[in-house]
């Protein structure tokens, strides 16, 4: 197998942490969508993850798990013998979006000391990934490095410096989204350094772009918004007519501070007072689960609330297609892919005003995450007023149809071209525009 099937193709070395079917949130889906978008436009994409059963994902996209690839130095990447694999399952505590455990080794070191984060288990994983991805990079002959979220930024930075390559960081979420005022200063420092030093920064929304500019002091002209897109085609007709749906109101997301499940329950308690049939279904796991169950008891709605735990994506689609409403009351949501999934299923959405998806789906109900009165009123209105629900779905789906990974990839290629990276001939006009 040749490293480079097409020497004319621009090769993108993508570094990621999640990839379907191994993912816990929107990062994996978005990474895949973007990689496909670039590959479909003729770029050669080598996507490297810490752990993955390596495979081709289309003609121009190769996904590589760094752990089970043996790197030779004569220009090709060869998989180890099956017997030589040592797949380490990603422990839950290595989830990059969980709050770091303050008792991890290095917690007493000064902020910014790389040993702090690297002393933790997640930190070791990040460091190991940097080493392994670096080895792959040496023979990948990439033209550009494109890193998805902070766990891969140290690797991208190291590779770019050693190989003298332009590098881009793609911010799917920042530490301030994930942890609010409790942001881990080490993670924030990694994000800041990468955003400041990278050739360019991609943000999944203008909401996130502003955080990068304001919190990390990155010049505005270096941060470009690349919106996420729905997976796959949008069916012409919604699966189940709105007026035949169950009065179910669904929350999908990790049960963490960032996603606002507590606000969801507070609004639910208000809705339950007025709508005796309404049920509230939470899909997802997370550190707040116990507290939320307690909260639903205190609010007197325990019999109306279901905690479904982890639900497989296909099952989520099925659930959404039967439900009346998806609510995404995130405290800080860089994008919010689940809102697009709900619209694909023909389900109206309420999204927080602290989210990126509201920029592309203006035909949605929106409320500040803390305004549970307004959230409750919007929930009741959707249950009570079918005209509203239908219009939200029809108009929202029209806006959904305007989003595509293809369009997002074009935006990325334009940024590449502006940075002087050669792009496929058929996209040469993008480069020409960029340099004119």
User: What does the binding site for other proteins look like in residue numbers (CB under 8 A)?
Assistant: 269-270, 272-276, 299-301, 303, 362-363, 365-366, 373-374, 376-378, 380-381, 384-385, 387-388, 390-392, 395, 399
Sign of the C-alpha dihedral computed for residues 271, 275, 276 and 278 taken in this order: negative
Residue 56 vs 273, nearer CB to other proteins: 273
| Cis status, amide bond into 186, omega within 30 of 0 | no
Nearest approach in angstroms of CB 365 to other proteins is 6
36: Cβ–Cβ under 8 A, 6 or more apart, which residues? 57, 58, 61, 405
Strand ranges in 199-240 using DSSP code E only, listed in sequence order: 200-203, 223-225
218: Cβ–Cβ under 8 A, 6 or more apart, which residues? 195, 196, 201, 212
Nearest approach in angstroms of CB 406 to other proteins is 20
Nearest approach in angstroms of CB 321 to other proteins is 22
Nearest approach in angstroms of CB 276 to other proteins is 4
Residue 162 vs 297, nearer CB to other proteins: 297
- The dihedrals phi and psi of 125, each to the nearest 5 degrees, come to -65, -45
Residue 147 vs 376, nearer CB to other proteins: 376
Residue 21 vs 300, nearer CB to other proteins: 300
Quick one: tokens of 27? 């990062």
Nearest approach in angstroms of CB 238 to other proteins is 15
Residue 115 vs 374, nearer CB to other proteins: 374
Distances (CA, A) of 48 to 138, 156, 408: 13, 11, 20
Nearest approach in angstroms of CB 225 to other proteins is 16
- The strand order across the sheet containing 279-283 reads 305-309, 279-283, 248-252, 325-328, 349-352, 365-367
- Cβ distance 348 to 365 under 8 Å? yes
Residue 78 vs 385, nearer CB to other proteins: 385
Residue 269 vs 320, nearer CB to other proteins: 269
Q: Compute the distance between CA of residue 234 and CA of residue 298 in angstroms, rounded to an integer.
A: 41
Q: Compute the distance between CA of residue 96 and CA of residue 122 in angstroms, rounded to an integer.
A: 7
Nearest approach in angstroms of CB 323 to other proteins is 18
Nearest approach in angstroms of CB 264 to other proteins is 16
DSSP annotation string for 29-48: HHHHHHHHHHHHTT-EEEEE
Residue 59 vs 273, nearer CB to other proteins: 273
């Amino acid at each position: 197998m040749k490293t480079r099937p097409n020497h004319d193709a621009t090769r993108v070395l993508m570094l990621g942490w999640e990839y379907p079917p191994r993912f816990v949130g929107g990062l994996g889906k978005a990474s895949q969508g973007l990689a496909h978008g670039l590959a479909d436009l003729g770029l050669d994409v080598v996507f490297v993850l810490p752990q993955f059963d390596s495979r081709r994902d289309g003609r121009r996209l190769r996904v590589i798990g760094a752990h089970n690839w043996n790197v030779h130095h004569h220009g090709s990447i060869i998989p180890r013998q099956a017997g030589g694999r040592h797949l380490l399952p990603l422990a839950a505590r290595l989830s990059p979006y969980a709050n770091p455990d303050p008792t991890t080794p290095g917690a007493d070191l000064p902020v910014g000391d790389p040993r702090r984060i690297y002393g933790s288990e997640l930190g070791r994983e990040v460091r190991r990934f940097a080493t392994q991805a670096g080895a792959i990079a040496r023979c990948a002959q990439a033209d550009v490095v494109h890193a998805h979220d902070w766990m891969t930024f140290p690797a991208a930075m190291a590779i770019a410096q050693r190989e003298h390559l332009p590098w881009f960081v793609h911010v799917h979420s920042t530490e301030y989204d994930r942890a609010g005022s409790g942001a881990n200063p080490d993670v924030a420092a990694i994000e800041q350094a990468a955003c400041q030093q990278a050739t360019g920064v991609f943000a999944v929304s203008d909401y996130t772009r502003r955080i990068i500019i304001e919190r990390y002091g990155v010049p505005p002209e270096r941060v470009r918004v690349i919106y996420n897109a729905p997976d796959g085609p949008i069916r012409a007709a919604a699966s189940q007519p709105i007026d035949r749906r169950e009065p179910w109101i669904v929350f999908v997301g990790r049960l963490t501070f960032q996603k606002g499940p507590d606000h969801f329950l507070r609004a639910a308690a208000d809705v339950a007072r007025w709508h005796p049939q309404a049920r509230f279904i939470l899909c997802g796991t997370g550190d707040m689960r116990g507290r939320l169950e307690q909260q639903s008891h205190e609010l007197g709605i325990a019999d109306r609330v279901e905690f479904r735990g982890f639900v497989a994506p296909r099952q989520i689609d099925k659930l959404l297609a039967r439900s009346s409403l998806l609510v995404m009351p995130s405290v800080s949501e860089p994008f919010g892919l689940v809102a697009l999934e709900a619209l694909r299923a023909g389900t109206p959405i309420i999204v927080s005003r602290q989210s990126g998806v509201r920029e592309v789906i203006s035909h949605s109900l929106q409320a500040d995450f803390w305004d549970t009165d307004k959230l409750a009123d919007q929930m009741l209105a959707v249950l009570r007023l079918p005209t509203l629900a239908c219009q939200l779905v029809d108009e929202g789906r029209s806006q959904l149809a305007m989003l595509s990974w293809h369009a997002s990839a074009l935006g990325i290629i334009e940024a590449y071209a502006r940075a002087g990276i050669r792009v496929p001939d058929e996209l040469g006009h993008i480069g020409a525009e960029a340099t004119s």
